[in-house]
Structure 1
Amino acid sequence: MKSNRAIRTPGGLSVRLDVRALTAVVLLVLAALTASVLLIGTGDFPIGAGDVLRTLAGQGDAGQEFIVNELRLPRVLVGLLVGASLGLGGALFQAISRNPLGSPDVLGLSQGATAGALTMIVLFSASSEQITLGALVGGLVTGAAIYLLAWKRGVHGYRLVLVGIGVSAIVTAVNGYLLTKSDIIDAAQAVVWMTGSLDGRDWNQVWPLLALCAVLVPLVLANSRGLKMMEMGDDVSYALGVRVERVRMLLMVSAVLLTASATAAAGPVSFVALTAPQLARRLTRSPGPNLLASLCMGATLLVTADFVSQRVFGAGQLPVGVVTGVLGGAYLLWLLVAERRAGRI
């Protein structure tokens, strides 16, 4: 089967369709939905997959409707949206920096959002809404600082990564200082938040994240052609009519917003933004940023990791951030070895 097919529209336009990439996206969506149904049925009160589907269709009993629609469905939707946001944000950063290590975890954006949340917890004993706002502001401020420090007649990929690593080290030290200045109750709350978890998530986290994704995802996908051209270099992109700095700024702001909002909703879930784009690229075997596949891969990874943690360790026993951290850390080590053997680092 050919990987690419040219389709001619009635208006005479020719559209190239990547069959393998489209197939991968469809399979990832099916995997994410399957994991979501199984995850909704997992917990102290198990519910079969068939009963979950009937309840979602409005045909369950009163007890099942309360458990599914009020307790478990919001948690799963937050997991899907957070994973999708991190996967798409990671793909954008890696494409802009032209570096597989260019993810929010490495660049310090997750640490910046954590600093904002810790500031609200430690200094103001804030509510959950204020903590969310603090994480969002912290991520945005950190993203702006990285961009400004990396700017020198444009933003070079490796300069962006190096500046991000430096900012990450500084912000991590600030986070450690904030923890040492907090009392035992605030410190315990901060540590739980810093782990990254979907426990206790409700509709209050779903709607803001859904609204942000509804705006940013179409905006990012609409600029995917310019981003793909930018991977050939700024000079070539300018020659092809791409307004490089405008597109880069727009996509970086979108990536920062996606990452910061995901961190605000679920805490700093580690390594999803790093691994999802790379796994998507290996699955599609397609050049370019693979934005849609990365989005679907991120959602699938997060809900699958949460399902595994609940099935293996029990509901509420192991935060999903621990699972993604272990798997992502192993993947990062493999990626570093592969990049070194290829002579790129």
Structure 2
Amino acid sequence: MRVSILGAGAAACGAAAQLSIMGHDPMLWSPSGRSTEALAAGAPLLATGAIEASIRPRIAASAEEAVASADVVMLAMPGYAHKLAFDAIAPHLREGQPVIISSHASFGALYLSRLLAARKLRTPIIAWGTTLTTGRKASATEVAVNSLRSKIDLATVPENAADEALALCTTLFGERFVLREGLLAIALSNLNPQNHLAIALFNLTRMERGESWGQAENVTPAVGRVMEALDAERLAIAGAFGVTVRTIREHYAFSYQLPVGSIAEMNAELHGRGKGGFGPTTLESRYVLEDAPYGLLPTVLLGRLVGRPATLHEAGLTLLSAAYGRDFTRENDLLPALSFDTTTREGLEALARNGF
């Protein structure tokens, strides 16, 4: 299948490599074109680590070209670029053309649904709870893949497209997908924001000074306890909505193939295997700039909707805003576009089932 990937970062390149291994034909689109310049000139894309491949993905010069040549469109960009990407592809999508969001953030599936409804167009929107791979871009033409996840949660808008979406994702990426009870479950399934909050907050001076530091190595028992407490808040909100989501321990076990223990113990095991990775070396990190406004804030708002305050999430959001000298609650461009501040629980649940 021809799969156009919107993005050219580590997640996008990791997905392209896996698609090629599975016998599919990936295309990459970078809005600025800078990230794909070397690939467009003919250099191969090299994946190392959990995926070993050298591929030559097609490169799209525009969002229109990416959509026109695709059987499936896949978004693999930071949350702060999702609205831009949705606005770019919505005028060109075809009836029934699937869109995968990897990973879903801040009810972007509903924003895309509204754009398509304005065109009287229906297409399955597939929301993943996390990305296919973890890793980093080593250069413009190299991606170091730390892990290929064994389990990825998914749901669709509308909900009745779920079975076909599961079959499609399995065809593209293999047997690793788990259906969840709709978009609300996926909205509460991305653990990156809560995990990155604890990791970044307790290592902020290392990031600011540009130090090289092991990420898993520094998830000490104290940091691990905070991560587990943040997880308890998320699980309570999911329970109030009546949806089942994966726990942080399950997430680590499935993402990194680890025995289940405390979060500190699991990170120590990951570090011991030499797969603990390195933390951010700058304050300009997606751990904060993406995850604070597009991950922590939606969890806080969902907690308010069901009377389960996400106290630690909100405190972390406030502390990060103070440290950065900016208000991360005002940097989300998707929720205001959905008038989320006036949304009721009942209205949100209906939209999560059927879209606009």
Tell me, yes or no, whether TM beats 0.5: no
Compute the TM-score of the two structures, normalised by the length of structure 2: 0.26
Which entry has the higher C-alpha Rg, 1 or 2?
Answer: 1
Normalized per residue, the structure richer in helix is 1
Higher relative contact order, structure no. (Cα contacts within 8 Å, ≥ 6 residues apart)? 1
Normalized per residue, the structure richer in strand is 2
